[in-house]
Structures are given as C-alpha cells and as structure tokens.
Structure 1
Amino acid sequence: MGRQYLKEVTGLPGLKTAPNMDVSAIVKDVIYSIRKDGDAAVRKYSEKFDKWSPPSFKLSQSEINAAIANCPRQTLDDIEEVQQNVRDFAKAQRNSIKDFEVELRPGVHLGQKNVPIDNVGAYIPGGRYPLLASAHMTILTAKVAGVKNVIGCTPPINGKVPNSTVAAMHLAGADEIFIVGGVQAVAAMAVGTETIQKVDFLAGPGNAFVAEGKRQLFGEVGIDLFAGPTEILVLADETADAFTVATDLISQAEHGPDTPAVLITTCPKVGRDTIEIVERLLYNSDLSTASVAKTSWDAFGEVIVVDTMGEMWELGNQYASEHVQIFTRSPRDALEHLTSYGALFLGEKTCVSFGDKVIGTNHVLPTRTTSRYTGGLWVGKYLKTCTYQEVTSEQASGDLGRLCGRAARAENFEAHARSGDLRASKYKKDQIQWIKKSQAATGVRL
C-alpha cells in the first residue's frame, strides 16, 4: 500500500511569509533599549505590550502572601503535590550525576565536579493561560540542582497579578518574583537593570518574541533550549482506541494555532476514526478552547498510515517530535526503536497532559526536530560540569612534560612546549637548550 496521508498539513494562510524579520527587529530594539535605559525601558515596554505599570515590578513578601491567600486551598494543595513529584524526579536526576576523581597513572589525578550555576532567570509565560507548571519545571528544578539565586518573571493576566502563578513560583523557591512579561522580562534578566539582577542563565518557554529574545541573548547568557510551538506525535497500531487518540491530539492542539498534532498508525481504521472523532469533538462540543484547537488541527494536523511497525518507528524518528505517545500492543518497544524525541509517553494509561502538568518529568522540551541533538530541561542544565587536575608525582610531571613538549611542537605551539620542557628539566633532569640560555640571560636557576 505504501505510505498514505489521510490528512495533510495545509498551514495557516500567510504563515510562511510572516515578517520574521520584524520580530527580530522588535526584539533587538527592546534589548538595546533595556541595555541602555534599564528599568525605564522595562516600564515603557511593559506599558506598551501588557498595559502594566505598577509602582514596582518586584513583588514584596506581603504581596506574595496576599497572592497566596487569594488562591483556593485546593489549588495550593495541588501545587504542592505536583511540586513534590517534580522535586522527587529532579532529585533522582541529581543523584545520578556524580562527581569523581581518578588516578589515571601514579601521581596524576583527574577529577570532575558538577557546579551549580550561581544566578538563573526563570520566565513563566502567561499571556493566554496561567502556566503554573512552568514554575515547577524551571524554578524548582534549578533549586534542586543547587542554584543559589533564582529570579522569576511572569506577565500580568488581564492587568492583574496572576495569584496562582505567583504561589507556584514562591513555593518552588523563587528568591525574587517580578510581574513583568515578554521579551522585556528576559532582556532585563539577561543584561541587568537597576532593580533586576543580571543572571547567568535563562530558562523557560514563551512566545515568538521571548524565543527570539533568548536566541539573541544566547552567548551573553546561557539558555535552556530553543523552543517553538508545542508538538504532539502519536504512534499507534490496531490496538489503539481512536477516541483516546483524538482526545490527546486535541489536548495539545489547544496550546496555540500553530501546534503540530500528528498521528502515524499502521491501522487505516484507527486513522479514519481518529479524524472523524477529532472533527466531532471540535465542532460539536462545549470545549472552551475549541476554536484555537480547531485552527491548529485544520492547519497542522496530520494522519499518516504506514505498512509496518518498522516504518512507523522510522518515520517517528524523522518527525523528532517534542511529545511522543505510544499506543501499541507493546509500548515499551519504543525505548528500543526511537532515538529522537523530547519525551515519551508509553501506553494508553499515560498522556502528554500528565507530563505537561503533574507527573514530575520536565515539560520544557525540544521542538522543531531539535530533539535530534538535545533533550529537554533537567537538573543537569543548571550544572556546569567542570574538570580539575593535579600532578603529585615528580616522575609523572617529568614524563608528561616530555610528552607535552613533543605534542605541542607537532602543532607549532613553542610556548606550550616550553611549559612541558620546564617540568622535564626539573623532574627528569633533561638538558634543554632554551632553558640553559634563559638561565644565563636571567640569572635564574631551577
């Protein structure tokens, strides 16, 4: 039969010709202004983009307490339960990363230490929805890694402090919380202002402007990863329940109007039924986000039928999607066959929404096929893996000196070679001509 497309991508009208350079230029101007004018520029852009200009963007402890007090008790309980899941998994990750030291040869000690970044800026988006989970994923994970200072920024929602987001940020361990959003937030954290401390690393998802801001600031600060619109890929065989597949595709399509939602299946009936059910759920339901999900599904939804499981795995790796759900007879086969994905969700009892909101793994994940070379945000992103070395043996130092001299001269690095020569002379008593001449000229004796 060959590969069959039951539904293909059409794209949004004008999307590919959207003025990307305008986004880049706007972001460049914002960064320049904040670098030049500090807090005044942050306020200007906050007023322009968010209609938000409080006396202070930084929340005081009393304001944080008030925000928490305005949250329902159940919301706070749920935040704490979810954060415990995230904390437990992040701790397990941290415990898997070991410092070590080896004696490579007698008297030559090489070691590795995993050193936390000192200052991190966490961006918690909130333009369309209050994304509490992003606070858990960015701030809490950084704290488990051992980051000393975490600044959190989140935008106002409809001109108000997003109480539940603030509660999540505080409970996650944020040292300072600012109600400021967009590229002005990431730029302020990256370059520093009168009131916002410069950070060393930026983490967290955001819109196209935030993503472009992180791209332009990368190098001046570190970033977690380049992220685009949310993606979901479902890989299914004939055992998959089409209603569940359809529901889970829609769950991600509601993120925004440009979310790829893709089904690859070996079963034509599963494919056809999924399309029919998605249409019914989007057109004939009370789903509050149906209009957004429908736009995304119509433009970027795909359903592909393949002949074999092998072809399904191969095509899945080509898509290299952010979220990959496995609805097959043996879901754990995916662990052997898939190599490019942000996160895997194995079996019908698991769904991407668990990963997005509650289960404990991190939801800041690679998109747009970048999972071919990177994983998502995790404890290790907040750690600098640093090496050290110590030579305690005169014999080893002399031997390495001889080796260094030869290796460096093979690359025409004479000064490097002489550092090695010096150890060979001191500890192996090698007679080296340039050292003799230098001693005569300087009067220095080894």
Structure 2
Amino acid sequence: MVLKLKQQNCSGAGPAPAVDTPTIVRGVIDEIRAKGDDAVRAYSEKFDKWSPTSFKLSQEEIQHIISTVPQQVLDDIKQVQDNVRAFALAQKASIQEFEMEIRPGVHLGQKNIPINSVGAYIPGGRYPLLASSHMTILTTKCAGVPHVTACTPPIAGKIPANTVAAMHYAGADDIYILGGVQAVAAMAIGTETMKKVNFIAGPGNSFVAEAKRQLFGEEIGIDLPAGPTEILIVADEHADPFTVATDLLSQAEHGYDTPAILITTCKTQGEKTIAEVERLLKILPTADVAGVSWDRLGEVIVVDSLDEAYKLADEYASEHVQILTQNPREALEKMSNYGALFLGEKTCVSYGDKCIGTNHVLPTRGAARYTGGLWVGKFLKTVTYQEVTSPQESGELGRLCGRAARAENFEGHARSGDARAHRYLNDKFEWIE
C-alpha cells in the first residue's frame, strides 16, 4: 500500500520559464565562436555588468583578494579541501593500471592518463559556492590534470573573494572572473586570451547546463548533465520529525525546483514531518525559496515496509538519498539507484555538499539509474594497449582474426590476420604471392 500525505503541486507559485534557453545559448555560443574575446566581453557586460581590463586574475590580484578573506574562512577551506583530497586520492589509488599475459607472448594492458586540460565552472548568483571549487578543481588536480582553467562570475559587480581563495587553494592554474554561457563557451571553444580546454566540470544554472549540453561531444567532454538539486529521505517510525523536516528544507533552499521527498513506514511520522516543515518555514531565512520548492515539489509517502520504501526510492533514483532508520546500512544492500547515500541521523546531505570529502556533483533527473557522480576517474582516460611478441601466437591470432573477420564480411581485416599467419606459420593464401 502507498499512501500519499502530500503530493507534488506543480501549479504552485514560483518563477516559470519565460525564455527559450536553448536558442539564447546557441546564439551566445555562435557569436563567441565567430568573434572570440569581443563577444565574451559584450555578453559579460550584458549579463553581469562586468567588464574589467582582464577577466583573468594575476597572481598579485589573487594574493590581494585572499588577504581580505577572514582567517577562519581560509582555515575552513583548507580543512574541507584536506577531506576532499584524501577521498579523491584514495579513489585514484583504487583504479589500478595493469598488464597481463593472456597467452605466451601476448600482452594486454590498461593505463590511466589524465585529461590534458579541464575547465571548472564555479557558480555564483544566489549563493557563492565555495564547495564547488573543492569538488571540481581539487578533484581534477588529484587526478593529475596538468592545467585547470577556472571561471566564476562576479556577484553584484564584485569579485567573490572567498570563492577565489577556494579556487586558488584547490590548485586552479588560471582564474577568471567570468560567468554564465560566455564562460563555458570561452573555455570550450578558446579565444584570443583563453586556451581551449578538453573537458568542463561544475554545476550552474539552466543556461550553463544548456551550454554544456550543446558543446558536449564536438568541442568538449562534460562531467554530468545538470539538473535541480534533489533530496529523498527514507525514514522509519524511530526517526525524529524535526531532523527529517530540517534536512528536507536544507536542500529545498537551493532553488524553486528542488524535489524534497519523504518515504516513511509510519503515517504519524509523515504527519509530524509535514507539521515541522510548515513550522520551520516560518523562521527559515531562505523560506522564500525553500517554501516554493516544498509547496510545488514536496512529497510525503507512506508505505507498508522498509523493503517497499527502498524499492520506491530506487524508482525515484534521487540525487541525494538520506536513510533515517534503525539500521541505515541496510540500504547499501537494498538500493542501487542514487547519486549518494547518507546513512543515519548523524549524517546529513549538507555534509556531502559542504565538507565531508565525497563529491557533491551528482546525477539528477533519474540519471542515477546509469551513472554515479563526479569523481577522480572522470578526469582520467583509461586506455588499453597490446603487444604480441611471440611469432607462433601472432600467427595463431592471425588465423583466428581471418575466420572472425570473414564471418562479418570484413575481408580487409581478415587479410591483416592472413599476413601474420603467412609470415609466422607459412600459411598459404591466394591473395599473397
């Protein structure tokens, strides 16, 4: 049985899309492709009212900006980055290079090569997302990427000093105060003053996400298709409704389009959580945003058992799944579709967002059904190589290749195999004199 105490109300209040985002983004990209820096500057002036002599910060400017940041903020940035670095390096260590000899003289190998250059987009706008510097730039550098270009927009016409500090300590090689489509397009295409990158990572608004989508493939690789933040909580009757409500709202404040879902085995739990959410919205400073998401996309669902809860949660395939039950680690065995799991009352999604060390760039809109989140492996190309040193084995492989290729009517492929069978095993072929 599934009982919905609260359903989505997509007709509720909140900003509605009033622009053709793909067309606007395509126009910006095309103009930057044609006019380079001149177009970048024009769009920065238009969208951000920002047109400095140089968008790129010099090392002297970076050090001056960092000197304005409170020491406690700098200390916290370094501590969080220590956590992210430790986890990313452990991930890298888990990706093994190897070489094996599958037959005498037949060697196959795997090698991990960092991408040559990566562009990191660090959002601004409503919130300066320092954490995105850790998650994108630092993880990239842990993978061994030689050069990282990082862009972040000005906020209300000012340089976001805290963000610049985080970008610098994360290891960015070049830092630009530049935002939006113009930043993504400049990194992807390259201009007179900005080198083209091979890959772009980092979250952003709908325009940034659309720019990455349009540039993906032909110009660059990207981390993940971006979408609104999502939170889903699985709770039993023992969970604290105050904690459940607080954690739902912690993600709902991201924007007007954040699904915040509770699946519980206890109707009383669901009712108390709804009441707590309504109470907390009256005192939450970001209620003007969180309240819209809760009204439009909040759900509270009652099911008969935890097995049913896990099954339903898997169908949602949410970005963040928080488990508030007596045995939270059960979810590791019961669930398979999620961006990241947060196990137990002592753990919250905000830890993952801001400080614990795992990456907060995660799949949304059901993408968790087929991919995980951003990790150090995204910045490595896992390539293969092969070498045959045995004449006998090369000839035997030639015979096998000839038969396999002709079964597919690939005569040219077959003859490459024939040539080895002829040379090393003295096989005779009509086409070889």
TM-score range normalised by the length of the shorter chain: over 0.9
Change (3 A) 1:9 1:359: same
Q: Give the distance between the partners of 2:347 and 2:216, measured in 1 at CA.
A: 35
Partner SS, residue 288 of structure 2 = helix
Deviation at 1:288, TM superposition (A): 1.9
Instruction: State the match for 1:164 in structure 2.
Output: 162
Instruction: State the match for 1:441 in structure 2.
Output: none
Q: For residue 163 of structure 1, what is the amino acid of its counterpart?
A: A
Deviation at 1:403, TM superposition (A): 0.7
Instruction: State the match for 1:357 in structure 2.
Output: 354
Deviation digits for residues 117-149 of structure 1 (CA, Å, limit 9, x no counterpart): 000000000111110000000000000000000
Q: Give the distance between the partners of 1:13 and 1:348, measured in 2 at CA.
A: 31
Moved more, 287-296 or 207-216: 287-296
Deviation at 1:301, TM superposition (A): 0.6
Instruction: State the match for 1:373 in structure 2.
Output: 370
Matches within 5 A, 1:53-72: 53-72=51-70
Instruction: State the match for 1:207 in structure 2.
Output: 205
Instruction: State the match for 2:243 in structure 1.
Output: 244
Matches within 5 A, 1:209-288: 209-219=207-217, 220-283=219-282, 285=283, 287-288=284-285
Q: Give the distance between the partners of 1:232 and 1:30, measured in 2 at CA.
A: 33
Deviation at 1:431, TM superposition (A): 1.1
Q: For residue 280 of structure 1, what is the amino acid of its counterpart?
A: R
Deviation digits for residues 364-384 of structure 1 (CA, Å, limit 9, x no counterpart): 000001000000000000000
Deviation at 1:92, TM superposition (A): 0.4
Deviation digits for residues 416-438 of structure 1 (CA, Å, limit 9, x no counterpart): 111110000000011111011xx
Answer whether contact 2:14 2:256 (CA < 8 A) is retained. no
Q: For residue 260 of structure 1, what is the amino acid of its counterpart?
A: P
Matches within 5 A, 1:38-53: 38-53=36-51
Q: Give the distance between the partners of 2:242 and 2:251, measured in 1 at CA.
A: 15
Q: For residue 145 of structure 1, what is the amino acid of its counterpart?
A: A
Which of 327, 330, 334 is equivalent to 2:327?
330
Which of 333, 343, 346 is equivalent to 1:346?
343
Which of 400, 405, 410 is equivalent to 2:407?
410
Q: Give the distance between the partners of 1:139 and 1:126, measured in 2 at CA.
A: 16
Deviation at 1:73, TM superposition (A): 0.1
Q: Does structure 1 residue 390 correspond to structure 2 residue 387?
A: yes
Q: For residue 244 of structure 2, what is the amino acid of its counterpart?
A: V
Instruction: State the match for 1:315 in structure 2.
Output: 312
RMSD: 1.2
Partner SS, residue 199 of structure 1 = coil
Partner SS, residue 278 of structure 1 = helix
Matches within 5 A, 1:125-204: 125-204=123-202
Instruction: State the match for 1:444 in structure 2.
Output: none
Q: Give the distance between the partners of 1:95 and 1:314, measured in 2 at CA.
A: 33
Change (3 A) 1:278 1:45: same
Q: Give the distance between the partners of 2:229 and 2:114, measured in 1 at CA.
A: 29
Q: Give the distance between the partners of 1:160 and 1:39, measured in 2 at CA.
A: 21
Deviation at 1:308, TM superposition (A): 1.1
Deviation at 1:15, TM superposition (A): 8.0
Q: Give the distance between the partners of 2:42 and 2:122, measured in 1 at CA.
A: 20
Deviation at 1:16, TM superposition (A): 11
Answer whether contact 2:12 2:295 (CA < 8 A) is retained. no
Q: Does structure 1 residue 6 correspond to structure 2 residue 5?
A: yes
Matches within 5 A, 1:415-430: 415-430=412-427
Q: For residue 255 of structure 1, what is the amino acid of its counterpart?
A: H
Deviation digits for residues 167-224 of structure 1 (CA, Å, limit 9, x no counterpart): 0000000000000001111111000001111000000000000000010011021000
Instruction: State the match for 2:77 in structure 1.
Output: 79
Q: Give the distance between the partners of 1:406 and 1:325, measured in 2 at CA.
A: 54
Partner SS, residue 329 of structure 2 = helix
Structure 2: unaligned runs, 5 residues or longer: none
Partner SS, residue 431 of structure 2 = helix
Q: Give the distance between the partners of 2:164 and 2:191, measured in 1 at CA.
A: 22
Deviation at 1:18, TM superposition (A): 3.8
Instruction: State the match for 1:89 in structure 2.
Output: 87
Q: Give the distance between the partners of 1:431 and 1:307, measured in 2 at CA.
A: 72
Deviation digits for residues 388-417 of structure 1 (CA, Å, limit 9, x no counterpart): 000000000000001111111111111111
Q: Give the distance between the partners of 2:325 and 2:163, measured in 1 at CA.
A: 37
Q: Give the distance between the partners of 1:19 and 1:243, measured in 2 at CA.
A: 37
Question: Under a length normalisation based on structure 1, what TM-score does the superposition of the two structures give?
Answer: 0.95
Instruction: State the match for 1:28 in structure 2.
Output: 26
Structure 1: unaligned runs, 5 residues or longer: 437-446
Q: For residue 272 of structure 1, what is the amino acid of its counterpart?
A: E
Deviation at 1:349, TM superposition (A): 0.1
Q: Give percent identity, aligned residues only.
A: 69
Instruction: State the match for 1:292 in structure 2.
Output: 289
The alignment covers a number of residue pairs equal to 432
Instruction: State the match for 2:303 in structure 1.
Output: 306
Partner SS, residue 331 of structure 1 = coil
Q: For residue 111 of structure 1, what is the amino acid of its counterpart?
A: G
